[in-house]
Structure 1
Amino acid sequence: MKFTEFFIENGGIIMAVLGMALVIIIPGSGSAKGVGMVGDAASGLMAEEPEKFGKTLIIQLLPASQGLYGFVIAIMCLARLSASMPLQEGLFVLAACLPMAIVGYPSALAQGRISVNGIALLARDEEQMTKTIIYTIMVETYALLAFVSSLIILNTVSF
C-alpha cells in the first residue's frame, strides 16, 4: 500500500489523533514550565517562611490549568474517534483542538511569570495574596476563552 492510499484510508484518524496530541503536549508543556517556575520561587520562600506553604501552593497551581484544559479537550475528541473516520472529520477535530493548543502554552507561561512575582510579593506582604490571584486570573480568562472555543467548535459539527 502506498502512502497516499494509506493516508486517504486512515487520514481522518491520523489528523484527529494529531490534534489530540497537540492539545495535550503544547498547553501541558506550558503548564509544566509555569508550575516549575513558581515552584522554584516558592521553594526559596519556604526556606525562610515555611508557614506560607499553603499560600504558595495555591499560587503555584494557577498555571497548571492550561494543561488540564488541553487534556479535557483531548478526552472530548476521544469520543469522536473511529477507525473509519473520514479525512474531513479528522481535519475538523484537528482544527477544533487548535485554539486551546495555541493559546494554552503562552498563557500558562504568562501565568507562571505573574505567579513568580506573586510569590515575591507574598514574601514581603502576606495581605497582597488576593491581588496576585486576581492578576493571574486575568490571564486565565484567555485560556478559558480558548478552552470554550475548542469545546464549541468540537460540538458544533457532527458527521
Structure 2
Amino acid sequence: LARLNLNAQKLHPRAAELLPKVCKAVGRELPWRNSFLSLPARALETTHALALAVDILEGYDPPGRSRVPIEPCAGLGAAATEAPRGVLWHRYETDAQGFIKSACIIPPTSQNQSQIEEDLRKLARQMSHLDDEKLCLRCEQLIRNYDPCISCSAHFLRLHVERLP
C-alpha cells in the first residue's frame, strides 16, 4: 500500500489509466490504509510492471559481454532488495575462497510482525460479534494481506479464538 500511496503519480500510463476505475471500484481515493486493499494495489503494480517490461523488451539491445570474471576473496556485503511484500535486508560474509561464512536475512514478514499483531487486535475487537469460524477466517485473511511467503501462509496459520469477559 505504501508504494502505491507514495508513487501513484509515477505509474506507467497503462496502470495510471486504471487507477481511477480501481478507486471507484473499491469506494475510496488514495491514500489507502486498509490492508484488505493490498490486492487491488498489487494488481495496479502488476499492470505497471508488465507495461514497463514490455517497454524494456521492445527497446532491448543485448550487451556484448554478459559477465565479467571474478577472483574469490574474503569480504562483507549487505543489501536491501525491494520485493512485493516489502524490503528484504540481507548481509553476507565470505572467506578467502569466496565461500559464505555467515549470512543474515531479514524478510519483510518479520519487519511487519508488530503491525500485523496490532491490526489483528483491532480486527478482533471490531469483528467480535462474528462466530469463531468466521472470525478466524477474517483474521487469516488479514494476515495473508501482508503477503507472507507461500510456505508461511499455507502452513503456519492455526488460529483459535479465546473470548475474554
TM-score (norm 1): 0.28
Greater share of helix residues, 1 or 2? Answer: 1
TM-score (norm 2): 0.27
Greater share of strand residues, 1 or 2? Answer: 2
Q: Which has the larger radius of gyration?
A: 2
